[in-house]
Amino acid sequence: MEDCIINGYAEDSELLIQSFESINSVELLSHVSDYIPNKGALIDVGAGTGRDAACIASSELKVLAVEPVLEFRTAARQLHLSPNIEWIDDSLPHLSKVCSLNDTFDAALLVSVWQHVKSEDKASCLRTLRSILNVGGKLIISVRSGPGSPKRKCYPTTPQETSELAGHCGFDLLASHEASSLQKTNQKAGVKWTWLVFMAV
């Protein structure tokens, strides 16, 4: 991942930690909750402060939370310490540390991360994610439309482009749901989300 994006998050981490934590995970994930397994293993990529990981993890569903920004991992350990969540410093497109574990997952969650991946890296991300998902595993991606912060570069992307690319990388589209942003500043800026759910085939 690009250093400028990591630094952009790290510099504003104090405010961003509060902002991430102010979101209600149950409400946020309501459009895709039917596709989140309740047992097995899930990987949350770009997990931020672990808000969603903590909401999902249980003794039956172990979560591997992947987050490249140290400040978020540190906050996460204070806010959401759980025996059911493991943290790792890694990033897309290659998830090289994750891949070296040789673990496989029943679901992968990318909440508000996809816009930080360059267009030319998106296929590589999807192939990496496919390689760590079990057949039948779910891939859930929230696709952003609308402006992002200039301090944390966002690359233009669309649900259509993402679905087409995923189709070439071993995924079938199961569901697509458009949603408004839950954050007031993003609502004002016209940010909208499309939640895509794919199945690894």
Ligand X SMILES: C[S@@+](CC[C@H](N)C(=O)[O-])C[C@H]1O[C@@H](n2cnc3c(N)ncnc32)[C@H](O)[C@@H]1O
Range in contact with ligand X (rule: CB under 6 A) among 57-65, 108-116, 161-169, 180-188: 108-116
Indicate the residue among 62 and 116 with the shorter CB distance to ligand X. Answer: 116
72 binds ligand X (CB under 6 A): yes
Indicate the residue among 163 and 186 with the shorter CB distance to ligand X. Answer: 186
8 binds ligand X (CB under 6 A): no
Indicate the residue among 111 and 200 with the shorter CB distance to ligand X. Answer: 111
Which residues have a Cβ under 8 Å from the Cβ of 191 and sit 6 or more positions away?
Answer: 144, 145, 146, 147, 148, 181, 183
CB of 176 to ligand X, least distance (A): 19
Cα–Cα distance, 165 to 104 (Å, whole number):
22
Note the Cα 102 to chain centre separation in Å.
20
Judged by CB under 6 A, the residue of 41, 47, 133, 200 near ligand X is: 47
H-type alpha helices, the chain: 3-11, 13-21, 25-28, 51-56, 70-79, 96-100, 119-132, 159-168, 184-188
92 binds ligand X (CB under 6 A): yes
